[in-house]
Amino acid sequence: MGLVDVSRLPQHVAIIMDGNGRWAQARGQPRTFGHARGADAVRDVMRAARRLGIPALTLYAFSEQNWDRPQDEVDALVDLLCEHLVSERDELTDNEIRLSAIGRLHKLPTRARERLQKLMADTAQYDGMTLTLALSYGGREEMVDAMRTLAERVASGTLEPTAIDSATLENELASMNVGPVDLLIRTGGEQRMSNFLPWGAAYAELHFTDELWPDFGANSLYDALSAYQNRERRFGLVPDDCEAAKAPLARGSLERAL
Ligand code: FPP
């Protein structure tokens, strides 16, 4: 197990939780069984991140493209979400975790949206950690929605095209509410981003593991954090300037690094 220096933790960890289906199929079970075990892994990892003091954890729970999976799998994922939005209430409140969500949430069935909104409202006051669920989320879709908003402001005369910079766009991206991603983890052996947080993860360190998501637990998170702490983050600069560059970059001044 990797050693973690708690004084140098990433401020924002994002996870692509892949491999539930394969995990279940390897055990002769339906894919939905893997999703249920995947939800248990969510609890373990959330607890471990909170205990360590990571301020923001964002999980890719349902992509915009996942709507095209077989209807029974989509239904099972929505049911699982609904269940967990009730069963995990004490876990969130006891640990002072604020729940947030990004994505085209209006596409979720009403029962899921209502439970989500209730738990977000009931945990809004906490600042122990922000847990963001990406639901019906796609990074390109998020950027398209943001650009449409900016285009409407330009059309109405309240925004000058020449005034648009990185910060203008960033302000329209809900995924940037908790800042840029420092560490992006993907389980399940694939090495791709799958439309997850393209803006926020632009300078993220990437950690890919063959472990399937239901097998990923606290120890796997420590390994990923330990690997992260052995990286040198440069943000497009030369080594000596890296430390000086981190603070402004963390506040979103991406231009400095280009
Ligand atoms: C990808 O594995 C995983 C998903 C599409 C769903 C992720 C959902 C969970 C971990 C559980 C629900 C979460 C909450 C917050 C209650 P896959 O099915 O694509 O796996 P495969 O690549 O093996 O087919």
Residue nearest (by alpha carbon) to ligand 1 atom 11: 39
From atom 1 of ligand 1, which residue's Cα is the shortest distance away?
Answer: 18
User: Which atom of ligand 1 is found nearest the CA of 59?
Assistant: 15
Q: What integer is the mean pLDDT of 178-183?
A: 98
Average pLDDT, the chain: 93
pLDDT of residue 248: 37
* Ligand 1 neighbour 35 (Cβ under 6 A): yes
Question: Catalytic pick from 44, 66, 95, 177?
Answer: 66
Paired tokens of 125:
């006051």
For ligand 1, mutation pick of 15, 16, 18 (most atoms within 8 Å of CB) = 18
Tens of pLDDT, residue by residue over 116-166, are: 999 999 999 999 999 999 999 999 999 999 999 999 999 999 999 999 999
In CATH, which superfamily holds the domain spanning 3-137+180-247? Decaprenyl diphosphate synthase-like (3.40.1180.10)
d(CA 35, CA 38): 5
Residues 6+ apart with CB under 8 A from 3: 222, 226
Measure the CA angle with vertex 78, ends 73 and 79; round to 5°. Answer: 95
39 lines ligand 1 (CB under 6 A): yes
29 lines ligand 1 (CB under 6 A): no
**C-beta of 61 in contact with ligand 1 (< 6 A):** yes
Give the domain ranges of the chain.
3-137+180-247
Residue 242: the pLDDT is 57
Q: List, in sequence order, every residue forming a beta bridge with 211; answer none if it has no partner.
A: none
